Structure 1
Amino acid sequence: MKRIALASILFMACGGSKKDPPKQPDPPAGDTPMAGDPASEKKMEAPAPPDTGGAKMITGVAAVTWAPLDPSNAAGPQLAVLHGDPKSGGAFFLKLPAGMKSGLHTHTADYHAVVVSGAPKHFLAGGDAKAKPLAAGSYWFQPGGQPHGDECSGKDDCVLYLVMTGGFDFTPTPKAKPDKAGAYKLVARGDMKFVPMDPKQPNGMKASFVFGNPAKPEPVGFVIEVPPKGNSGLHSHTSNYHALVIDGQPAHWQPHEANEGTPVDVGAYWYQPGGYDHGDRCLSDKPCRAFVFMEKMLDFKPGAATKK
Structure 2
Amino acid sequence: MKQILFLILITATMISCETTPTETTEAAQEPLASSTNKVVLYSEIEWSPLNPARGDQSPQAGTIWGDRNGKEATGFLVKFANGFSSPPHIHNVTYRGTVIKGLVHNDDPKAEKMWMPAGSFWTQPAGEPHITAANGTENIAYIEIDHGPYLVKPVDEAFDEGERPLNIDQSNIVWVNLSEKVKGPQVSYLWGKPEASEVYGMYLKLPPGFAGKLIHSGSTFHAVVIDGPIDYHLQGEEGTKTLNAGSYFSSAESSAHHLSGNRESATVIYVRTNGTVDVKTD
Report TM bin, short chain: 0.7 to 0.9
Q: Deviations over 1:50-82 (max 9, x none)?
A: 9622x332222x432221231661342221121
C-alpha distance in 2 between matches for 1:300 and 1:111: 27
Gaps of 5+ in 1: 1-49, 303-308
Equivalent residues in 2 for 1:59-138 (5 A)?
A: 59-60=41-42, 62-68=43-49, 69-70=51-52, 73-88=55-70, 89-124=73-108, 126=110, 128-129=111-112, 131-138=113-120
The alignment-based identity, stated in percent, is 22
Which one of the candidate residues 11, 14, 35 is aligned to 1:52?
35
Tell me how far apart the structure 2 counterparts of residues 215 and 63 of structure 1 sit (CA, whole Å). 35
Q: Partner of 1:266: helix, strand, or coil?
A: coil
Aligned residue in 1 for 2:27: none
Alignment partners' CA distance in 2, 1:293 and 1:250: 19
> TM-score scaled by structure 2?
0.75
Q: Give yes or no for contact 1:97–1:158 (8 Å, CA) kept in 2.
A: yes
2:256 counterpart of 1:285: no
Question: For the structure 1 residues 65 and 263, does the alpha-carbon distance in structure 2 shift closer, same or farther, using more than 3 Å as the test?
Answer: closer
Residues 175 and 145 from structure 1, CA distance in 2 versus in 1: closer, same or farther, beyond 3 angstroms? closer
Choose between structure 1 and 2: higher strand proportion.
2
Q: For residue 214 of structure 1, what is the aligned residue in structure 2?
A: 194
Compute the displacement of 1:263 (Å). Answer: 2.9
- Per the TM alignment, residue 206 of structure 1 is displaced from its structure 2 partner at its CA by 0.5
Find the aligned partners of 1:181 and 1:136 in 2 and give their Cα distance.
Answer: 28
2:227 and 2:245 in contact (8 A); partners too? yes
For 1:280 and 1:240, the matched residues in 2 are separated by 19
> Counterpart of 1:159?
140
Structure with higher helix content: 2
Question: Counterpart of 2:143 in 1: which secondary structure?
Answer: strand
CA apart distance, 1:92: 0.9
Q: CA deviation at 1:169?
A: 0.4
- Which position in structure 2 is the counterpart of 1:25? none
- 1:165–1:285 CA distance, 2 compared to 1 (3 A): same
* Match for residue 198 of structure 1 among 170, 173, 179: 179
Partner Cα separation in structure 1 for residue 237 and residue 76 of structure 2? 26
Say whether 1:173 aligns with 2:135: no
Question: How far apart, CA to CA, are the structure 2 residues paired with 1:190 and 1:146?
Answer: 26
Q: Which residue of 1 aligns with 2:235?
A: 255
Aligned length: 244
* Residues 110-133 of structure 1: CA deviation (Å, up to 9, x unaligned): 22211122222011354x22x311
Indicate which of 238, 246, 265 corresponds to 2:244: 265
Amino acid at match of 1:274: E
Counterpart CA distance in 2 for 1:175 and 1:125 is: 15
Contact 2:96 2:123 in 1 (8 A): yes
Q: Give 1 or 2 for the bigger CA radius of gyration.
A: 1
Q: How far apart, CA to CA, are the structure 1 residues paired with 2:251 and 2:279?
A: 14
